[in-house]
Amino acid sequence: MSFSRIAAVHIVDDDASVRDALGWLLNTRHLLAEGYACAEDFLRVVDGEPADFLPAVPCCLLLDVRMPPGMSGLALFEILRERSLLQVMPVIFLSGHADVSMAVDAVKRGAFDFCEKPFSDNALVDRIELALRQSELALQQLRQAQDIRTLINNELTERERSVMHLVVQGLSNKQVADQLDISVRTVEVHRSRVFEKMSVKSAVELANLLHQHSPQPAA
């Protein structure tokens, strides 16, 4: 099963009745859901994707804190956190009363939210919709960043890339020329072509574009 082809809301809970109830609730709200009986099942699906994969659609994860005797929800969360997946796949913990403190601590480490069992259907769906919105915005930014990297790697020549990196550091045309041992006129030509290909009008705009779509550190 390909992660990119399955539902937007992933439910990882060892209680089949919880998975069924949540699946039914989400379907009534026109949200597609997929259930997993354990963290290991969900992790196998994620592991089947390339390391740099992006979900095809905005998604989030409803994750039970405890799922004995296998991997806990907290352990799965840490794996997703280490892989920098929490922005595109926000995690909402489903916690029993005894697990609230652990869920709160996970939120401090990057989980989107937690919902204590038994939970209000409306409140949970509201949180899920907010998480999906976060996922949508993160996916948009990452896809734009991929487009920028593809443009730089495929459309700019090696010399244009060298000029671009020096220009965004704030160097003047003469300073760029001196560093690359080329004429100022040649720098001007390459700079103009870089601006045209990157659809910007100034070095400041170019620097902002590159900064905005640079990879962000993990939470």
**10: β partners:** 34, 61
Q: What is the phi/psi pair of residue 162, to 5°? A: -65, -45
> CA nearest 143: which of 32, 63, 53?
53
Query: What's the confidence (pLDDT) of residue 214?
Result: 66
Report angle CA 124, 126, 130 to the nearest 5 degrees: 115
Q: What domains appear along the chain, each with residue ranges and CATH number?
A: 3-142 (3.40.50.2300), 156-212 (1.10.10.10)
Query: Residue 175's pLDDT is what?
Result: 96
Amino acid at 203: A
| 38 contact partners, CB below 8 Å, separation of at least 6 | 12, 14, 67, 70, 71
Give burial (CB, 10 Å; 0-12/13-18/19+) of 97. Answer: exposed
Percent of all residues in the chain with a pLDDT value above 70, rounded to a whole number: 94
**What pLDDT score was predicted for residue 215?**
53
User: In degrees to the nearest 10, what's the CA dihedral of 66, 68, 71, 74?
Assistant: 10
- pLDDT interval class at 218 (50, 70, 90): very low
State the pTM of this model. Answer: 0.78
| β-pairing verdict for 33-36 and 91-95 | unpaired
- Rounded Cα distance between 113 and 91, Å, is 7
**Cβ atoms 71, 104 nearer than 8 A:** no
Residue 56: which pLDDT band, with cuts at 50, 70 and 90? confident
Question: If you search the block for the tokens 């969900």, which residue do you land on?
Answer: 42
Question: Tell me: the pLDDT tens digits for 13-46?
Answer: 999 999 999 999 999 999 999 999 999 999 999 9
